[in-house]
Amino acid sequence: KPLKFMIPHFDKMKEIYDKIPAGQVKTQCADVVSVLAMTMSEDRECLKFKLKGNLSTEEIELWGHEYVRHLAGEVVQEFNALKEEQDSLKADLISLSKLIVPSQMKHHAEAEACDLLMEVEQLDILQQYVDESAYNRVCLYLTSCVPYVPDPENTNLLHTALKIYVKFKELPQAMRLALQLNDREKVEEIF
């Protein structure tokens, strides 16, 4: 909350950031500017400065749920605006997404975590973040999204939910999804 008093100094802080020599202070300054950019900037500066700041799930969570939600939104916008030749930025966005998802799962924002991974085309890694307390909500969300997404993404959602159900030994639910996928091998494997 005390950061709200720094809002009038947003542009000055960006200038100062550019002058600071590389090191821990510059990294921490990037974090502060990223948080301020959440309310002050329309140019995805929140994401831009976060990529220059401390990159860990704990550092991202430190600024609160609204910041995490905003940052995830900017990751999706940037990912959707990527051009073919921007592979290093794409890799950075995917890495940042992998840091955001654990925070979302921990704070019961499973749907947001699923949406983020769907948008950055990394849904196949979702099951590593799902725990005993969240798998039911995650699978319910994935299966309820199926009618609203085109082929082949809809089958990807079902496959992901099936893997999660198998991981947590919910075999009747997994069987239902295997039948829905019309995947004979999976049906035999589960049965």
Q: Which residues of 141-172 are buried (b: 16+ CB within 10 A; e: fewer)?
A: bbbebbeeeeeeebebbbbbbbbbbbebebee
The amino acid that residue 51 corresponds to is L
176 vs 37, 155, 183, 184, CA distance in Å? 46, 14, 11, 12
pLDDT at 163 over 60: yes
pLDDT at 48 over 90: yes
pLDDT at 190 over 80: no
The amino acid that residue 111 corresponds to is A
pLDDT at 7 over 80: no
Confidence of residue 182 (pLDDT cuts 50, 70, 90): confident
Confidence of residue 2 (pLDDT cuts 50, 70, 90): low
What's the pLDDT at 6?
Answer: 77
Confidence of residue 1 (pLDDT cuts 50, 70, 90): low
Taking the model in full, what pTM does it have?
A: 0.88
The more confidently predicted of residues 189 and 49 is 49
Q: Are 123 and 110 contacting, i.e. CB atoms less than 8 angstroms apart?
A: no
**Could you report the per-residue pLDDT of 50-71, keeping only the tens digit for each?**
999 999 889 899 888 999 999 9
**Could you report the per-residue pLDDT of 18-37, keeping only the tens digit for each?**
999 989 999 999 998 999 89
What's the pLDDT at 42?
Answer: 81
What's the pLDDT at 186?
Answer: 81
Q: Cis link prior to 21 (omega < 30° from 0)?
A: no
The more confidently predicted of residues 46 and 184 is 46
**Could you report the per-residue pLDDT of 95-152, keeping only the tens digit for each?**
999 999 999 999 999 999 999 999 999 999 999 999 999 999 999 999 999 999 988 8
